[in-house]
Amino acid sequence: MSAAGNRGPWSNTASGRRFYLMDPRSEDVHVEDVSSHLSRICRFNGALKDGIDHFSVAEHAFNISRWMEEDGYTPEICFAALHHDSAEAYTGDITAPVKQAVPSFRELEKRVTRAVFMGLGVPHLNTWDWDAIKRYDLIALATEVEQLLDRTTPVFTEVDSGHAWAPRAKELRPVGPLRAQVLFLSRHFELIRTMEADRVQKAFA
């Protein structure tokens, strides 16, 4: 649902709040809404092969966060990885071809992302850390394409990536929206507790 207000067009959230796309503010961002929306948004615009009903953006983000933890990345990077697509809770998961066809959407996406990151407390990372998250994002994409889609072409990442990343050797077992929401929300608070414990430990070291 959308309507025009003094802050421009808005959409309802799962909690009944409003989010203004043209005037995104951190105080309008709530992790409960993010987890609810992302768990119900299907990857690949729903173009999954027969037998797979749903694979959510929330599950995609959860997987990347856990894989990076398994590979030794810090809780801060894993937290940012969990939320790398969280702006899609408010913009929807716009597919890469649509973004290429409508370049102006990327500016809106950037504004929403800044508000979402601030609202959720995503830490400031350097370029190398974000590059690592992007690399895992593309590995996850390759893994999902291999296991979740009917395809007649080789595994791809993005049209302009210039590199086809090998899928991760992990079997994907889509858990459905409700379970994905629980996993995403639990991971969010788990990482917050870990980061806070690390800060306390460093303060008294």
What pLDDT, on a 0 to 100 scale, did the predictor assign at position 162? Answer: 53
The rounded mean pLDDT for the chain is 90
Q: What does the pLDDT average to over 21-46?
A: 96
Question: pTM surpassing 0.85?
Answer: yes
Quote the DSSP letter at residue 56: B
18 burial type by CB count under 10 A (0-12 exposed, 13-18 middle, 19+ buried): middle
pLDDT above 90 (res 150): no
Residue given tokens 């994409």 in the structure block = 141
3-class state of residue 12 by DSSP? strand
DSSP H/E element including 11 = strand 8-12
Which amino acid, residue 143? T
Q: Which of 9-18, 74-83, 97-106, 139-148 has the highest mean pLDDT?
A: 74-83
| Number of other CB atoms surrounding residue 49 within 10 Å | 10
Return all residues near 66 (Cβ < 8 A) that are at least 6 apart.
Answer: 78, 187
pLDDT above 70 (res 4): no
Q: Give the C-alpha separation, 50 to 47, whole Å.
A: 9
Domains and CATH numbers, the chain: 30-203 (1.10.3210.10)
